[in-house]
Amino acid sequence: MSAEGPVGADREQAVTDEVLASFAGTADPRLLEILRALVRHLHGFAREVRLDQGEWEAAVDFLTRAGHITDDRRQEFILLSDVLGLSMLTVAINEPKTPGATEATVFGPFFVDGAPEVPLGGDLARGAAGTPCYVSGRVLAAGGTPLGDVCVDVWGADEDGFYDVQYPGERSVGRGRLHTAPDGAFRFWTVLPTPYPIPHDGPVGDLLAAAGRSPMRPAHLHFMVTAPGYRTLITHIFVAGDPYLGSDAVFGVKDSLVVEAGHHDGGEAPHGSRREGAWTSLTYDLVLAPEDAG
């Protein structure tokens, strides 16, 4: 070490050590663990790629742009987490090991709390463009017990690949909240999901373009199921045969969540209703893990 201080690798490590030491007074042990690990990995990344000043400035500008484009209808940071696989990694780390429980996947940036209540068999599409789709199934405990009066939130895009919050105005279509019947059954009408690109007109889209990656997601419906005594389930069901099942931009596809769609030419529909034109159907049971599942 010279009289002027550490040089090279020693100087770099001295910076990391000083930052780590600055958190010594953190009272919360978990926060201390996270902050120190963050510093170690972030500094290690900068050393590994030999980050230069221009690249650092570009990263700050990228995050600033992500902040500016984020509002109550669009969450660019969730989108960034999704395309980097951090969202799915977090899901994998925290997923319960309960045999038979429905696998979880990403939450996505388009959930809206307080969606309209829809009766069993009701229409949550409410004018969304697309082929009518009848979705049904049951909510069960991992042992097979039906779970009645369970809250099921559902949201999906229209046939053009857009969620209601991506349109101007305050309309709420293609989403709803319903409660299961005593036998755990749920059923509703919506529109058949279609593949669509994640929002790519902002910094995350620029990142994908620079990396030569597609922004496309395979056709899917989002579900969030909450029940006292059980772990909240956040998942999708995907439509079988979709061309993007093997290249989901956010890495959310799991084989167990892929469902064959039924195709119908009109006429009698479930529960005695009738449809004049073509309609489709999806059936899938959602199985919850107990709250204390590891």
Instruction: State the pLDDT confidence band at 108, using cuts at 50, 70 and 90.
Output: confident
- Count Cβ atoms below 10 Å from residue 267 Cβ, excluding itself: 9
Instruction: State the pLDDT confidence band at 109, using cuts at 50, 70 and 90.
Output: confident
76-83 vs 203-211: helix crossing angle, rounded to 10: 20
Q: How far apart are CA 120 and CA 128, in angstroms?
A: 19
Q: Per-residue pLDDT tens for 198-238?
A: 999 999 999 999 999 999 999 999 999 999 999 999 999 99
> Is residue 4 predicted with pLDDT exceeding 60?
no
pLDDT for position 186: 97
pLDDT for position 79: 94
Position 18, amino acid: E
Region 126-146: mean pLDDT is 95
**Category of 74 on φ-ψ map: left (φ > 0), alpha (ψ -120 to 50) or beta:** beta
Region 278-289: mean pLDDT is 96
Q: How far apart are CA 212 and CA 175, in angstroms?
A: 32
> Is residue 2 predicted with pLDDT exceeding 50?
no
User: Strand, coil or helix: what is 188?
Assistant: strand
Return the higher-pLDDT residue of 130 and 273: 130
Long-range contacts: 93-97, Cβ < 8 Å, 24+?
Answer: 96/231, 96/289, 96/290, 96/293, 96/294, 97/293, 97/294
Q: What is the mean pLDDT of the chain?
A: 93
Dihedral sign, CA of 139, 159, 155, 221?
positive
What length is written for the chain?
Answer: 294
* Assigned CATH for 77-288: 2.60.130.10
Q: How far apart are CA 60 and CA 131, in angstroms?
A: 43
pLDDT for position 170: 81
For a pLDDT cut of 70, what percent of the chain falls above it?
Answer: 97
pLDDT for position 1: 46
Instruction: State the pLDDT confidence band at 82, using cuts at 50, 70 and 90.
Output: very high
Q: Per-residue pLDDT tens for 29-70?
A: 999 999 999 999 999 999 999 999 999 999 999 999 999 999
Instruction: State the pLDDT confidence band at 6, using cuts at 50, 70 and 90.
Output: low
Helices (H), the chain: 8-22, 29-49, 53-69, 76-83, 86-94, 203-211
Region 137-147: mean pLDDT is 96
- Count Cβ atoms below 10 Å from residue 27 Cβ, excluding itself: 6
Q: Are 47 and 14 in contact (CB under 8 A)?
A: no
